[in-house]
Structure 1
């Protein structure tokens, strides 16, 4: 496995993996009407904007297999409150539990320390996504808040905020 920075040329593989990851991880959590329909267009619009006009100070890391296939990705960016948001960490369905997510998380956290010293890294995770919660807790994240996520598609879901303590 190789990890490298992402570029606009990675748009379609990122979107495909992101959509498949959401459909797998959020089945029974997010509305089926969203996951089976507009999620693909939604993720395409998001990643097209992110990759065409990168946020200053953001980092996108892609894990590839030996043949160049995308295995997973992590995306971090500065948040308005001065912290660093781990906004995405996805592993191709069928490859979870193989260490890919751990390596992407390590890469992202190390990058944040180098690029944004003394800035706390945090993430938001749906309350019903217990597998992801267990993963983040195993990797040292601590729950710091609980809120309701409001999706522009018209639904709401409870989520937790997790952060890594600044040592």
Structure 2
């Protein structure tokens, strides 16, 4: 099997459609059996396009404190993305936060997720993220990269089903 080749670059407004598709498909692949199927079925690429257009427009501002990058394979196919910015948690004001890290299932093991996460190492401050309690693949990936659970948790409700999320932190960039 030929190794999957990819390049990492900062996302721009013209990437909104591709990012929306990866975002929706990434959720469906990563969270099947972990989140209500009705939620996953109801995800809308067109809604995500609108969100990504807003996100990428704001990121284009020179002083924007958050950024998104993508892994782009052959023929410009987006394989995954990462978004990072200031922590949204009041008890973590000095931290960066990984808002999202998604790679399509057919790119698992390709190194694309690792290359995207390595971008977070460029930040000299501590970094945090929220991960589903029931997501051992993600837990292992983040642990391999120096993240550890810090005891914080939150419960979000999706379609009437409580979903537990745990915070992981890495003290150094």
Normalising by structure 1, report the TM-score: 0.86
Aligned to 1:91: 103
Q: CA deviation digits over 1:14-60, x for unaligned, max 9?
A: 01001111101101111111101135455334323212223821121
Mapped to 2, the partners of 1:152 and 1:52 lie a distance apart of: 28
Indicate if the aligned counterparts of 2:79 and 2:104 stay in contact, CA closer than 8 A.
Answer: yes
Indicate if the aligned counterparts of 2:126 and 2:170 stay in contact, CA closer than 8 A.
Answer: yes
Q: Which residue of 56, 62, 66 corresponds with 1:58? A: 66
Aligned to 1:140: 146
Aligned to 1:36: 41
Give yes or no for the alignment of 1:79 onto 2:87. Answer: yes
The change in CA–CA distance for 1:34 and 1:41 in structure 2 (over 3 A counts) is farther
Displacement, 1:150?
A: 1.7
* Aligned residues: CA RMSD: 2.1
Q: Which residue of 76, 81, 102 corresponds with 1:68? A: 76
Aligned to 2:129: 123
What is the number of residues matched between the two proteins?
Answer: 161
Gapped regions of structure 2 (runs ≥ 5)? 1-5
Aligned to 1:116: none
What SS class does the counterpart of residue 128 from structure 1 fall into?
A: coil
Mapped to 1, the partners of 2:158 and 2:55 lie a distance apart of: 18
Displacement, 1:153?
A: 5.7
Indicate if the aligned counterparts of 1:148 and 1:156 stay in contact, CA closer than 8 A.
Answer: no
Indicate if the aligned counterparts of 1:146 and 1:158 stay in contact, CA closer than 8 A.
Answer: no
Mapped to 1, the partners of 2:157 and 2:50 lie a distance apart of: 15
Q: CA deviation digits over 1:99-152, x for unaligned, max 9?
A: 111111012322x23xxxxx2111000010111001101111111124123257
Gapped regions of structure 1 (runs ≥ 5)? 114-118
